[in-house]
Amino acid sequence: MKTISSSLILLSIAAPLLAATYSQSDNIVGAGFLSAFNFEAIADPTHGRVNYVDANTAKSQNLTFTSSDTFIMRADHTTVLNPNGAGRNSVRIRSNKAYTTHVAVFNMRHMPQGCATWPAVWETNESNWPNGGEIDIVEGVNDQGTNVVTLHTSAGCTMPASRAETGASLQLDCDANVNGNAGCGVRLSPATSYGPTFNNNGGGWYAVERTTAFIRVWFWARNDGSVPADVKNGATSVNTDNWGTPSALFPNTSCDIASHFNQHNIIINLTLCGDFAGAVYGSSGCPSTCVDFVNNNPSSFTNSYFDFASLKVYT
């Protein structure tokens, strides 16, 4: 019995590293986004110059609309704002389901672009942040640079300086209380991973895999010859072992993922200015001040929208 027990222990330790095949649990396409997500009409926690609206307002103002294979969500691009009034109408949605071990594949044709924009695709437990962890899959501001994938946690989660990823590691301490909540980020190398270059190239696929052993994120541009067939075809099962070196790797070497990351909802939002885009606006080459730009230039947000072909979750 002792020998069998030891073997089982070894298998249980190895399992997260070996279990790379997942079955599709959620296939979210078109109007499916409206039933799979709820609209968070809340004050922006990051203090942006936005007014997050509810589902009915978003639909009536055409801030969200769908077709058989399209889900659009965007910021208002027609209204000059009262400087003493509410921010620009925008959308923030959160998945009804929460996930632990899983893979999520985002087939995205377009992301918000432009000065003052701060789009994000991420996962967290909002009610227990930062103790429940945060995974930023897509994030950037003011059309600056390439995508940065980042973890934010409570104290006691750090990353090794050298690891098997194609991106470039930034800060190694994931603690949200260090360096103004910079988190432990990885900057992706392809110019096509973010902003106007991503959009002009027809977008691409982002995928996140979370286990108790690691968190991995991949990006493939639309015309990338290395896009795995199961990703490109939206297969009913995926094998992440066949996906090659990830863009970003966060191992459990010195971060207990199970204790630092709760069940997570998927969140997609577009804010403007705020704690990040507003803080670096002056060095971004954008005109005026961030808030004045948002208030007075609605047509500048014509391209500030997400276009998702699908979101597929595998567990």
Catalytic residues: 134, 139
- Kindly list the distances between the CA atom of residue 201 and the CA atoms of 216, 225, 229, in Å, as whole numbers in the listed order: 24, 14, 19
Q: How far apart (Å, rounded) are the C-alpha atoms in residues 301 and 131? A: 34
How open is the CA angle 269-42-315, to the nearest 5 degrees?
Answer: 50
Residue pair 85/312 in contact (Cβ under 8 Å)? The answer is no
Q: How many residues in the chain? A: 315
User: Is 70 buried (19+), middle (13-18) or exposed (0-12) by CB count in 10 A?
Assistant: middle
Nearest to 243 by CA among 263, 224, 262: 224
Buried b (16+ CB within 10 A) or exposed e, 249-283: bbbbeebebeebbbebbbbbbbbbbbebbbeebee
Name residue 37's beta-bridge partners.
Answer: 95
Q: How far apart (Å, rounded) are the C-alpha atoms in residues 289 and 304? A: 18
Helix (H) or strand (E) holding 67: strand 64-67
